[in-house]
Structure 1
């Protein structure tokens, strides 16, 4: 039997985004630390989603926009998600909120974890994302990874732009806890969905 599949979703689409660096680190560490799940990196930039303009969520009626349908089909491949997000004005980027709105049935009864980054570790964005996930019928896991303060400025181009390995010791325990939560909830929800 194959492992459950997890999408690591890059939530920012800005050209100057920092997301790629922590997302690549997360993908490598997740594959190393968690052999019970399979991980893919999914970049919102690859989907060119329009702003949500459907009659309703695809929970209630099929979507018409082909880009939205492509996104839905991609998200349907996964048993859980890790969202990589910055914090913009105390929330998640519009690109991520729009992507979440563009799918509906694909999210239901699947776990969601978060890696946030920024001066306060995207703490407010992570909490907002959890609230959105609940409304989309996802299961937000308790543990998250926050890259904040001096750690953020150490690895960000806004600061020293050091390698992620420079802050790994400080954030690895959070990552291990998040992956443990995600593994348990992915197995539990997948078993329940299949039953």
Structure 2
């Protein structure tokens, strides 16, 4: 059982959110929503600051997305092709994002934060387009603020239920860190499974028509 003192939560909570979100945005197969929900419950209990957590989440996500956007601008379609070869899920996400961008324009950058599979592939793909860097950053920031606030405020709203769940965990010899670690492992397994999942058998022939 992994224990974490309340003082460490108050001191390192925002830093943990920053690191977790940054690694997730860079492509490390780690979920960031569970930690944001937990941070929200800590905000409701007075152990963390809402502004500190939101700033940490936004800065981490913006830094990661900016790195991918810059890589897309430097390496262009070669980067998109290399990423697409890694897995069918990434290739499908690239194709979907490209189609949505052509149809709806820059706002898709913000909306993609709420669509599984699109948040990670959108920044490098946008880097290969003619969209201005400032426009990308503004829409990306808007989406990140809405996305992080959604999970943090959700955790604060259901703080009482989460508290009861944590008490139940402690009664069974576990802590929230154990739960977050388990969720991370399951998420990694899910990402690896998706990466190895080929497209439907009917996709390739249909694409050739």
TM-score (norm 2): 0.27
Instruction: With a CA cutoff of 8 Å and minimum separation of 6, indicate the structure with the bigger relative contact order.
Output: 2
More helix by share: 2
TM-score (norm 1): 0.28
